[in-house]
Amino acid sequence: MTTSTQPSIQPSTQERQAALKAEIAASRDREALIKAQAKTHEDTWGKGPPFFSSASFAFWQEVAKGHFHIASCSACAHKFFPPRVICPACWTPDTCTLQETAGEGRVFSFTESHAVPTRVIPIAPVLLVAVDLDEGVRVLTWLMDTPLSEVKMGQRVRIAVESVLERPTYVARRI
């Protein structure tokens, strides 16, 4: 009977510790980068909604005034949400204009989420709904003050701007 000696596939304890230290360092670098980006954002835009883009800045300004809008392409008239730099229908850049909407539509889908960002924990769990607006645009938002057991597919809702956790945001309510 002969035995062969094969090299160990398992990393040594020292190798595992070195890999763990490298992973921790990389995590700290990512955290520092995210903090720097957040600081730059706050210095530029104030404590507004996270991560404005050139297309969404006007949208969030309107939300801050209490108005909900959808986007429309000035080149092909396609309506969409959220506002984007490039039209998702014709791919024309920088043609996004805001269009007022009544914000009424039907629940397309919904789910209750218990896994929420830290800032949202005070109102968790949240009821997320995908709403098909009458204008043909689908919007994802929270359905407020409605138990999960009372939500139905096709139920009529209206999207409005309200203060949630001391910030203006758009939410849905049953009509």
Classify burial at 127, counting beta carbons within 10 Å of its beta carbon; exposed 0-12, middle 13-18, buried 19 or more.
buried
Asked whether the beta carbons of 35 and 43 are under 8 A apart, the reply is no
Asked whether the beta carbons of 142 and 151 are under 8 A apart, the reply is no
pLDDT in tens, 105-162: 999 999 999 998 888 888 899 999 999 999 999 999 999 999 999 999 999 999 999 9
Residue carrying structure tokens 């204008």 = 135
Asked whether the beta carbons of 160 and 173 are under 8 A apart, the reply is yes
Q: Which domains does the chain have, with CATH numbers?
A: 102-175 (2.40.50.840)
E-state strands within the chain: 69-73, 79-80, 96-100, 104-113, 126-133, 138-143, 156-164, 167-174
What does the chain come to in residues? 175
Instruction: Give 39's contacts (C-beta < 8 A, 6+ positions apart).
Output: none
Lowest mean pLDDT among 10-24, 37-51, 77-91, 115-129: 37-51
> Which range scores top for mean pLDDT: 5-14, 16-25, 111-120, 126-135?
126-135
Residue 79 in 3-state DSSP? strand
pLDDT band at 45 (very low <50, low <70, confident <90, very high): low
Nearest to 59 by CA among 132, 159, 155, 143: 159
Query: Which residue type is seen at 86?
Result: I
User: Rounded to whole angstroms, what are the CA distances from 5 to 2, 8, 9?
Assistant: 10, 9, 12
pTM over 0.75: no
